[in-house]
Amino acid sequence: MFGVFLLFAAIAVSTSALCIYTVDRQLSTEYEVNSRAIAQAIANSSLDIILNRDLSTLQSLIDQFRQIQGIRYIYIADETGDLLAHTFVPGVPKEITAGERLVGATVQRSLAGFGDFVEVSSPIMDGLAGSVHVGMDKGLIALKIQTAIGQQVYLISIIFIIAIIASFALVNLAAKPVARLTRYAVQLAAPEAPGRLGPTAVRALLERNDEVGQLARLVRHLGMKSAAAEPE
């Protein structure tokens, strides 16, 4: 029974690990594709705004996309690397201002006070007018994974508890007839021993059609042969 419990636990752990891996990969890919599309849309919309140096309109443009779930920050840099607009509050982290900007590549960033992010970017006019950078919140992906795995763990825990109760009930159901058989065998071997079975219990034991009944009848047969073979 404990072997079955260990096997059940191994299945639960392996299933959860596979689910975590699958959900993390799919969500990360989905967020990255969506963020690249957003960065490309901003890059296409901001070219005229940058050329006209209308920074307030540029800020309003990226603030609209900031409300999309999973997007934690957006910033636009010019061709020299200087920031033209951003959504960081209260200020730009030093990792952004001092870090190297790889346009078109996927960058893993850890910003103090903000969290961990995956940053994607898109060039504006092939990089001649700057680039747009979008940061995805990895904490949101972790939260979604935690929610999905939590629901799975709840379900598996309920099934596991029911299985434990059912297994103990079945073991107890099988142990009681065996205990009666043992008492009956002792009763035949030592009639004076305590804990004798009553006539009704003995008859019910002998009338069983399972292995316990067969063994009970065999024990009675051997007991009768033994008694017959004893010298007077």
- The pLDDT tens digits for 24-71 are 888 888 888 888 888 888 888 887 887 777 888 888 888 888 778 778
User: Averaged over 118-147, what is the pLDDT?
Assistant: 84
Indicate if the pLDDT at residue 229 is higher than 60: no
**Domain limits of the chain?**
2-145, 154-229
Q: If we measure between CA atoms, which residue out of 75, 96, 95, 93 comes closest to residue 85? A: 75
Q: Which two tokens stand for residue 144?
A: 């979604």
Output the DSSP codes for 139-185. Answer: HHHHHHHHHHHHHHHHHHHHHHHHHHHHHHHHHHHHHHHHHHHHHHH
Please report, for residues 67, 100, 118, 131, the alpha-carbon distance to residue 105 in angstroms, rounded to integers and kept in the order given. 23, 11, 10, 12
Q: Which two tokens stand for residue 71?
A: 């997007």
CATH of domain 2-145: 3.30.450.20
pLDDT above 90 covers a percentage of the chain that reads 0
Q: Which two tokens stand for residue 15?
A: 């299933």
Please report, for residues 20, 30, 128, the alpha-carbon distance to residue 122 in angstroms, rounded to integers and kept in the order given. 30, 17, 12
pTM: 0.60
Q: What is the pLDDT of residue 82?
A: 83
Q: Which two tokens stand for residue 154?
A: 């709840």
Binned at pLDDT 50, 70 and 90, residue 193 comes out as low
